[in-house]
Amino acid sequence: MSSHHHYSAPTEVDLQQQQQQAAEQTTSLVELSISCKDLPDCDIVTKSDPQVIVYMLDLSGKDKQCEIGRTEVIQDNLNPKFAKKILLQYHFEQIQHLRFEVFDIDPVGGNDFLGGLNTTLADIVAARSSTFKQPLVGGPRKRPGFLVVDVEELTSCKQVATFDLSATDLPSSFCGLLAPTSSVYIYRSNENGTLTIVYRSPSVRRDCNPKYRTFTQKLVTLCNGDLDRNIRFELMDQNLNMERQLGFFETTINSLKSGGRQQQTQVFDLLNQKSSNRSAQPSESKIALSNFKIINQATFLDYIRAGAQIHFVIAIDFTASNGDPNYPDSLHYLDPMGRKMNPYEQALLSVGNIIKPYDTQGLFAGFGFGAKLLGPNRPPSHFFPLNGNEQHPYVTSIDDLLIAYRSKLKNVILSGPTNFAPCIAHCNNIANQYENGDHYFVLLIVTDGIISDMMQTKRAIVEASKSPMSIIICGVGDADFSAMDELDSDDVVMRVDGKSAERDIVQFVPMNKFTPQSYGPSARASSYKTNSLELQRLLAEEVLREIPDQLTGYMLSHGFHPELTYTTD
């Protein structure tokens, strides 16, 4: 293999394409509309009663992995157009093998197979200008007819409902002495009648007449695009760490829309359901829902296309808990032969390659924390540039980042404590100078996870949740990462000193989940190469999973829309 690399700088077009591809990898929900033509007739008196079942196949494209969905049954029809859609995540970076099977459904005499078809989602999507139409294979007749699939990126993903809620006369607890600390739980009703929780609001403390923060929810989350589906709002009191239900009401998006069109505030009785066999009774409390709008929300792709720039800031943990770098069991050990990368190098390389396409300027700011810089009587530094240049802490490639990391490691003394707050505060100071909707910052903290300043870090995160930034914490080594999970508050809004975070901005990724060691010796030996590719892909998904929603969430809540259109019809 030749070692001469002629590196040509990427052009603007290359970068845009890279970014576009990277963005498309992360987000697309597509809807398949299925119909058939000229199906064989298996019923003697009437025509066939067809139904289509869709399966995802494994990576080889041979074996069924799982059923994705099935259409309804249409009676007596050889050219059925099915109303029930199949929803599917489209991953630009994966080959998704599908199998369609068509049956004549006969509850009495058993179902007849009318034909099937293997294809990939990419083939269906690529046939977008025309409709995807292919002959079915198998079945009772030489020519079993055709399968027709129309594909559409779901626009209901882009639609967002925003509204305000307030309550009056909520009941106090403890004989009327303690006003409730209430929050709103929103549930979506499923096809089978069960309820799925989709949102918990930040709570309003000790108030019988609370006003809640404006709600912004994707329609696809609230009702899966079905505007007549019931949505349940439950008010919960969380005083003294005990939960009690204050009451609930139910409505649909369509009825909220009709109220929203007349610009009126809709008032609901809060219902109480004391026991399961009694019907719900209205209470004294009332809920007012106002300013209901449905907005076409721009997607992550729309912001990237409109020129939003993502900037990556990388902070590396140089604290003594990583072990002495002169010994091979240290997480910072540098192999003198350069054969084996340490966990920090692996994390920087893997995650760096994943985030690279998004940073159009190709500049990464690299910092370290928790070490003593060389010099007489210097205290530990909680934030220092890897390249030693305070004014210009940037490197232009992941390779340069690794070089800067290695040379810094030889010129510092690992120390402590492990403080995250200074890194977060520094990044936040930069981010909040760019609150114009054109820039978004991602702070990547690579750490062994032994944190010393949990409270200060939480305060810094709550503060940073107002700025255009996200935090990805990459945990290296095998320490106890439970503290990191506490920072990644997917389910509950982070609260410190009575202040709530505006949004969830932290994603924690334990790197040891993505090393071949975590997948058993047989898997390691048999397919090391495919394994490492698969692990790299899983890591990419894990690292990038929350950034698209975090970026659009910030932009939306701050009123930045590449092309905003109001729709309340």
Reported as a single tens digit per residue, the pLDDT across 518-569 is: 444 444 344 444 456 667 767 777 777 788 889 988 988 887 877 543 333 3
Distance separating alpha carbons of residues 107 and 136, to the nearest angstrom? 23
Cα 323 to the center of its chain, rounded Å: 34
Write out the chain's pLDDT in tens, 569 residues: 444 444 344 455 555 555 555 444 445 677 788 999 999 887 777 788 999 999 999 877 888 878 888 988 888 889 988 877 888 887 755 678 999 999 998 877 788 999 999 998 878 877 755 578 999 999 888 888 999 998 766 654 568 899 999 999 999 887 778 899 999 999 988 666 777 777 888 889 999 999 998 898 888 878 877 889 999 999 999 887 677 899 999 999 999 998 777 778 999 999 987 645 556 777 889 999 999 988 877 777 678 767 788 899 999 999 999 999 999 999 999 999 988 899 999 889 888 877 777 777 888 999 999 999 988 888 999 999 999 999 999 999 999 999 999 999 999 999 989 999 999 999 999 999 998 888 999 999 999 988 999 999 999 999 999 999 999 999 998 877 888 877 886 656 788 888 888 888 999 888 887 776 544 444 434 444 445 666 776 777 777 778 888 998 898 888 787 754 333 33
- Please report the DSSP string for 205-227 in residue order: -S-SS-BPPPEEEEHHHHHTT-T
* CA 407 to the chain's CA centroid: 36
270/210 Cα distance (integer angstroms): 14
Cis preceding linkage at 417, omega within 30: yes
Residue at token pair 């079942």? 53
| Residue 264 pLDDT | 81
Distance of CA 153 to the CA centre of its chain: 17
pLDDT, residue 533, reads 64
Contacts of residue 414, defined as CB under 8 A and 6 or more positions apart, other chains included, come to 318, 319, 320, 322, 324, 325, 332, 370, 371
Residue whose C-alpha is closest to residue 444's, from 499, 389, 405, 501: 405
Sequence-distant (6+) residues with CB within 8 A of 467 are 428, 431, 432, 435, 441
For each of the domains in the chain, give its residue range(s) and CATH number, in order of start: 12-156 (2.60.40.150), 159-296 (2.60.40.150), 308-519+526-558 (3.40.50.410)
Looking at residue 130, what is its pLDDT? Answer: 52
Residues 512 and 319: their CA atoms lie apart, in Å, by 19
Segments of 143-298 assigned E as strands: 146-153, 159-168, 182-189, 195-200, 215-218, 231-237, 244-251, 266-272, 281-296
At residue 26, the pLDDT reads 47
Residue 460 and residue 420: Cα distance in Å, rounded? 9
pLDDT for 51 equals 94
Predicted local distance difference test score (pLDDT) of residue 314 = 96
pLDDT of residue 567: 36
Show contacts of 532-539: CB within 8 Å, 24+ apart.
536/350, 537/93, 537/94, 538/514, 539/350, 539/351, 539/354, 539/509, 539/511, 539/514
pLDDT digits 0-9 by tens, 299-315: 776 787 677 888 999 99
* pTM, two decimal places: 0.59
Residue 554 CA to residue 233 CA, distance in Å, equals 24
- Which tokens is 122 given? 């990419």
- The answer to whether the CB of 449 falls within 8 A of the CB of 481 is yes
Q: What percent of the chain has pLDDT over 90?
A: 41
pLDDT at 564: 42
Residues 6+ apart with CB under 8 A from 126: none
Length of the chain: 569
What per-residue confidence (pLDDT) applies to 342?
Answer: 92
| Residue ranges of E strands in 328-370 | 364-369
Gap between the Cα atoms of 356 and 111, Å rounded = 52
For residue 255, give the H/E element and its range: helix 253-261
Query: Which residue from 200, 279, 277 is spatially nearest to 235, judged by alpha carbons?
Result: 200
Q: What is the pLDDT of residue 518?
A: 47
CA dist., res. 119 & res. 178, Å (int): 62
- The pLDDT of residue 92 is 54
How would you classify the pairing of strands 29-37 and 146-153?
Answer: antiparallel
